[in-house]
Amino acid sequence: MLVTVAACLALLAAPPAAHADTTDQKFLAALEEQGIIDQSSAGHAIESAHYVCARLDTGETPMAVMQDVLASSSLPEFHTGFFVAQSIYSYCPRHKDEIPPR
């Protein structure tokens, strides 16, 4: 399972859509494109993404954060990996080098 999680984190960090003009819009567009959220959950998704970054800032690994998101949300593993990776690329790119390679 850890290999799958690592692959999800590495593979799913696609750059956000180019047509969006703010970080939040780009982040939400990437999640919507994957079918992860709709507009009604946009605020919660942004808040959760900032929480991902805050946890990484305390020294937790992306894998540990992803496992916690997986356990505490209804997202399947693939979407959880995408969410954490996209959170990193959108809001805390200083942690992008911590994403495990494929």
Q: How far apart are CA 39 and CA 12, in angstroms?
A: 21
Name the pTM for this structure: 0.78
Mean pLDDT of 34-51: 90
- Confidence class for position 85, pLDDT limits 50, 70, 90: very high
Angstrom distances, CA of residue 89 to CA of 28, 40, 51: 12, 23, 14
